[in-house]
Structure 1
């Protein structure tokens, strides 16, 4: 069985060791064993859990929802409806984020075209473009 130190896991996920200890404290990373020297030992299961945590956090899932999800996951047969509802809700949230980002990207690209044309006008000595044309 492959195991990892807190330093290795910290580097792997770009998280401070204090965050890993916090995740353990609140129950997001359960069953972290320790050596006789009191050093944490992380397993592939922890690595998988941290990958899921990172994924969910990147989509804006709150710590409360993360805890709720992993609590449900421990007894998935009893909580399958709750798991599905939570994941569907998060999917809707991600879809909304994507829509907002796509709209913002359109605006940025519009400005990019406009200012690229201004630069071209400056370089050629021609008339500046009119913003209303974009």
Structure 2
């Protein structure tokens, strides 16, 4: 089994070492195995979970929701609750995408207006 040091796990996940410790302490991340010397050693499964947590965090999931997901992940009987939590988050992401699409249209309209003004200015000076 491949294992990773906290520094390697941080580098691969994009989280700081402090965030990894915080996530473990808060129950967002399951307890991490320890070496004989007491140092954390991360597995491929831990890195997968960190990657998924990064995805959730990057898409706006709150720390409280991450904590709830972490708690639910410790119990195999909570899959329906995990599905509900992730479906709710997916709906939130879709709503944000809709908002961003509308904002993008407005920004593009302004860019188009500026380009039109630049063409008019270029035509009158030629």
TM-score w.r.t. structure 1 length?
Answer: 0.83
Report what 2:14 is aligned to: 14
Any residues of structure 2 matched to 1:1-134 within 5 Å, and which? Answer: 1-77=1-77, 79-125=78-124
Whether the 8 Å contact between 2:3 and 2:41 is mirrored in structure 1 is yes
Bigger radius of gyration among the two: 1
C-alpha distance after superposition, 1:12-50 (max 9, x if no partner): 122211111111111222231233444321111110110
CA gap of 1:109–1:28, structure 2 versus 1, over 3 A, is same
Aligned residues: 125
Whether the 8 Å contact between 1:76 and 1:83 is mirrored in structure 2 is no
- Residue 120 of structure 1 and its aligned partner are, at CA, apart by 1.4
Q: Unpaired segments of 5 or more residues in structure 2?
A: none
Measured in 1, the distance between the counterparts of 2:121 and 2:71 equals 61
Give the match's secondary structure for 1:125: helix
* Aligned alpha-carbon RMSD (Å): 1.6
Whether the 8 Å contact between 2:28 and 2:68 is mirrored in structure 1 is no
The 10-residue stretch of structure 1 (65-74 or 14-23) with the greater mean CA deviation from structure 2? 65-74
The 10-residue stretch of structure 1 (6-15 or 36-45) with the greater mean CA deviation from structure 2? 36-45
C-alpha distance after superposition, 1:98-118 (max 9, x if no partner): 000000000011011001111
Measured in 1, the distance between the counterparts of 2:29 and 2:70 equals 10
- Residue 80 of structure 1 and its aligned partner are, at CA, apart by 3.1
- Residue 70 of structure 1 and its aligned partner are, at CA, apart by 2.4
Q: Unpaired segments of 5 or more residues in structure 1?
A: 127-134
TM-score w.r.t. structure 2 length?
Answer: 0.88
CA gap of 1:35–1:80, structure 2 versus 1, over 3 A, is closer
